[in-house]
Amino acid sequence: MNFRGIWIIGLFTTIQWAGAVLPDEKNNIEVYQKCHTAVVNITATTLRRDFFFDIIPQRGVGSGAIIRGDGYIVTNDHVIGGAQNVEVTLFDKTSIPAKVVGSDPTTDLAVLKINPPAQMNVLEYNLNPLSVGQKVLAIGNPFGLGGSLSVGIISSLGRDIRTPSEGLLKDVIQTDAAINPGNSGGPLLDSSGKLIGINAQIVSKSGGNEGIGFAINGRTVKKIVDQLIQFGKVTRPELGLYGISLDKRVLSYLKIPKDVGLMVTQIAQTGSAAQAGLREATKELIVGFYRIPIDGDVIFQLDDTPVGSLRDLRDYLGEKKVGDVVKIHFYRNQKVKVVSVILKSNQDKKYLDRST
């Protein structure tokens, strides 16, 4: 009898639990209801020519986050690519043409502008420090299924990843919240519904979610977005030179005791490198079928950081600001030289197309 009474009480309690909304579930519901109207679907159309030179439209889809009430939306650069036509679909299925205000392939971010039909919901940033284990929510357009919510945690912080353009993204958020194709450009939110990142990439062998996703940190997003809205581009420092990597065999032939180095092959006339007196290669070394430029300056270090490629150069300069002073360590005629340069803006446009 007592057993039956306990069983009945237990059954009643179980039924109560099944019908109730748990606190964590309630939070998920509240965040979704608060924020999903500030998330948009993006369709980017690019015109390509097929084998017969006929123009064929190709469409890509992604997500975006409304960040200002006057119609500014942030998304990934790889979502819009070189699209000739971009369309934004709001939560109520209203489709509106969008203008690309600016994009930054280095950080894989872009800003769109629409003429809002009415007052729009806007996501606010949370720029405070984050913690591993913190709850996060992703809203987006996976596989074209708009308004989808997934929940997870911050798995790690401070990750470094490469963007599709080979730019180095630092301080990236790793999450296990389900991120799939179409989620790119959508917001990663904290439990109060504030934007802490923009979903950008996944690690996957299947092409779908496997529990490792990456979001661009909100601090990076805000810094880049503010520049794109104001200037339409991002101001970065550069040296105004182009070069090729040399391996240990070539450097040994040139009597340079280094494992790697960057041979300067071209210098922009108005760049920092030219003003510092660096010299570009004027001769070629023929090795088999290869022609290797020689007789120019070989850069091997910036300040205290070893450099052996243009990627190394860009990564280091990415941490600097216009007007900063950098010491370039290089070999000229088998002798080490050091010169200090003031970094100029990449908007000083008498630069090489491929310069850094």
Q: Is the pLDDT of residue 9 over 80?
A: no
Rounded-to-integer distance, Cα 113 and Cα 97, Å: 9
In 3D, which of 66, 62, 65 has the Cα closest to residue 81? 62
Is 260 exposed, middle or buried (CB count within 10 Å of its CB: 0-12, 13-18, 19+)? Answer: middle
Rounded-to-integer distance, Cα 298 and Cα 93, Å: 57
Query: What confidence tens digit (pLDDT) does each residue in 231-247 have?
Result: 999 988 989 999 999 99
Angle at 345 between CA 342 and CA 347, to 5 degrees: 155
Q: Regarding the domain with residue range 237-345, which homologous superfamily does it belong to in the CATH classification?
A: PDZ domain (2.30.42.10)
> What tokens does 159 get?
């990750």
Quick check: is 303 catalytic?
A: no
Biggest CA pair distance of the chain? 100
Query: How much is the pLDDT for 81?
Result: 86
In 3D, which of 107, 52, 51, 47 has the Cα closest to residue 74? 107
346, amino acid identity: N
Mean pLDDT of the region 160-181: 90
Query: What confidence tens digit (pLDDT) does each residue in 177-196 have?
Result: 998 888 999 999 999 999 99
- Alpha carbon 65 to its chain's center: 15
Query: How much is the pLDDT for 3?
Result: 41
Angle at 353 between CA 350 and CA 354, to 5 degrees: 125
Q: Is the pLDDT of residue 352 over 70?
A: no
Rounded-to-integer distance, Cα 143 and Cα 132, Å: 28
Mean pLDDT of the region 73-78: 96
- Alpha carbon 272 to its chain's center: 27
Looking at the DSSP assignment, which residues form a beta bridge with residue 98? 86
Query: What confidence tens digit (pLDDT) does each residue in 257-302 have?
Result: 999 999 999 998 888 999 899 999 998 888 778 888 889 999 999 9
Query: What confidence tens digit (pLDDT) does each residue in 106-150 have?
Result: 999 999 999 988 889 999 999 999 999 999 999 999 888 888 999
Quick check: is 184 catalytic?
A: yes
For the chain, give the percent of residues with pLDDT over 70: 90
Quick check: is 108 catalytic?
A: yes
135-231 domain in CATH 3.40.50.300? no
Q: For residue 356, what pLDDT band results from cuts at 50, 70 and 90? A: low
Q: Are strands 325-332 and 298-302 parallel, antiparallel or unpaired?
A: antiparallel
275, amino acid identity: Q
Query: What confidence tens digit (pLDDT) does each residue in 49-70 have?
Result: 766 666 677 778 999 999 999 9
Answer yes or no: are the C-beta atoms of 141 and 165 closer than 8 Å: no
Query: What confidence tens digit (pLDDT) does each residue in 302-344 have?
Result: 999 999 999 899 889 988 888 999 999 999 999 999 999 999 8
Residue of 150, 155, 184, 355 marked active site: 184
Architecture of domain 35-113: Beta Barrel (2.40)
Same fold, 35-113 and 135-231: yes
Query: How much is the pLDDT for 10?
Result: 43
Is 154 exposed, middle or buried (CB count within 10 Å of its CB: 0-12, 13-18, 19+)? Answer: buried
Phi-psi region of 158 (alpha: psi -120 to 50; beta: other; left: phi over 0): left
Residue of 78, 150, 297, 315 marked active site: 78
Q: For residue 19, what pLDDT band results from cuts at 50, 70 and 90? A: low
- 3-state DSSP of 194-254: CEEEEEEEECCCCCCCCCCEEEEEHHHHHHHHHHHHHHCCCCCEECCEEEEEECHHHHHHC
Q: Where are the domains of the chain?
A: 35-113, 135-231, 237-345
Mean pLDDT of the region 92-110: 94
Mean pLDDT of the region 9-18: 44
Query: How much is the pLDDT for 18?
Result: 53
Residue of 77, 104, 108, 315 marked active site: 108
Q: What is the mean pLDDT of the chain?
A: 87
Answer yes or no: are the C-beta atoms of 173 and 157 closer than 8 Å: yes
Query: How much is the pLDDT for 143?
Result: 84
Give the list of residues 6+ apart from residue 27 with CB closer than 8 angstroms, or none: 135, 191
Rounded-to-integer distance, Cα 228 and Cα 252, Å: 45
Query: How much is the pLDDT for 333?
Result: 92
